[in-house]
Amino acid sequence: MPTFGDQHRTAVHASIDVVASVSPGDLGLATPCAGWTLADLLTHMTAQHHGFAAAARGHGANPAVWQTEPFTAAIATDPAGTYAAAAHDALSAFAAAGLDDALFALPEFGRDVSLPGRIAMGFHFVDYVVHGWDVAATIRSPFTLPTDVVAAVLPIVMAVPDGEFRNATGAPFARSLEHSDDGDDFAGILRHLGRNPSWARTSA
């Protein structure tokens, strides 16, 4: 794995831990991801683990490996177990030797798009830092990452460009929010990726 491998694993395990607190009764809750219920978010997260694992094994060009539909029913009945299995599979795939420079096919970024593994796994790292927080905020659970994890993901996050393209349907992140000088790097990560660190759902 790339130099942030340990921190990446820690972030994914933190997401597993927070999803372990999700019950089927929570799945209809609104999330910080506009228009998505918790079921939608967990299905997306599970499918992305599956797709990235396939990409690490050389099969990412197949659009079927990125589809959410195969996980919908399983998330509805066993959100924690279904998610954890997919997350562990991705981490297992990423543990293979020589992936930093191997090409990962990522058709969600465009037809015939392939990127070096170190970049692709960086995308995955960012996703599960922020999606772990999304889940935690939804179920009103604490979500704290170690300082070394935040330090490792921060430059990757800040390299994510902002612009009008983030307003498009299907854009991975909403427009960046105004940054604060409060010294809270994790809050800065959330703002750069279009999240309000103070977000709270209004429904019970």
Residues of the chain with pLDDT under 50: none
Give the 3-state DSSP-derived string for the chain, with helices as H, strands as E and coil as C: CCCCHHHHHHHHHHHHHHHCCCCHHHCCCECCCCCCEHHHHHHHHHHHHHHHHHHHCCCCCCHHHHCCHHHHHHHHHCHHHHHHHHHHHHHHHHCCCCCCCCEEECHHHCCCCEEEHHHHHHHHHHHHHHHHHHHHHHHCCCCCCCHHHHHHHHHHHHCCCCCHHHHCCCCCCCCCCCCCCCCCHHHHHHHHCCCCCCCCCCCC
Most distant CA pair in the chain, distance? 47
Domain spanning 5-193: CATH superfamily: dinb family like domain (1.20.120.450)
Contact 11, 149 (CB under 8 A): yes
All structural domains of the chain with their residue ranges: 5-193
> For residue 25, what pLDDT is reported?
96
CA distance 25 to 177: 31
> For residue 2, what pLDDT is reported?
60
> For residue 157, what pLDDT is reported?
95
Distances (CA, A) of 201 to 34, 41, 57, 74: 11, 15, 38, 25
CA distance 159 to 83: 28
